[in-house]
């Protein structure tokens, strides 16, 4: 659809519908501004950030009564 076709269709609408179209256009503008581009994450960027305990797989002391 070209701009001229869109303008022709909008101009043929009654005033209250033109107001609705205007509100919708403003909504779409604000929606597109609010989208933030997410940086693409690089594999391994958190390397060394977390440390795993050597006894990670060992049962916890708190659960000995239940085992």
27-57 pLDDT, tens digit each: 998 887 766 677 788 898 888 888 888 888 8
Residues in the chain, overall count: 67
Whether residue 66 is contained in a domain is answered as no
- Predicted local confidence at residue 65, as pLDDT: 85
Nearest to 23 by CA among 10, 5, 12, 36: 10
Dist. CA 49–CA 51, nearest whole Å: 7
Whether residue 42 is contained in a domain is answered as no
Whether residue 23 is contained in a domain is answered as yes
Q: Which domain holds residue 8?
A: 1-33
Whether residue 55 is contained in a domain is answered as no
Dist. CA 41–CA 32, nearest whole Å: 23
pTM of the entire predicted model: 0.48
In the predicted model, what is the mean pLDDT of the chain? 87
Band of pLDDT at residue 21, cut at 50, 70 and 90 = very high
Band of pLDDT at residue 26, cut at 50, 70 and 90 = very high
Whether residue 7 is contained in a domain is answered as yes
Whether residue 39 is contained in a domain is answered as no
Whether residue 43 is contained in a domain is answered as no
Question: How many domains does the chain fold into?
Answer: 1
């Amino acid at each position: 659809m070209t701009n001229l076709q869109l303008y022709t269709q909008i101009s043929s609408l009654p005033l209250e519908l033109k107001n609705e179209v205007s509100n919708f256009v403003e909504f779409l503008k604000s929606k597109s501004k609010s989208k933030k581009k997410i940086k693409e994450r690089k594999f391994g960027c958190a390397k060394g950030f977390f440390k795993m305990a050597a006894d990670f797989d060992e049962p916890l002391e708190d659960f000995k009564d239940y085992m």
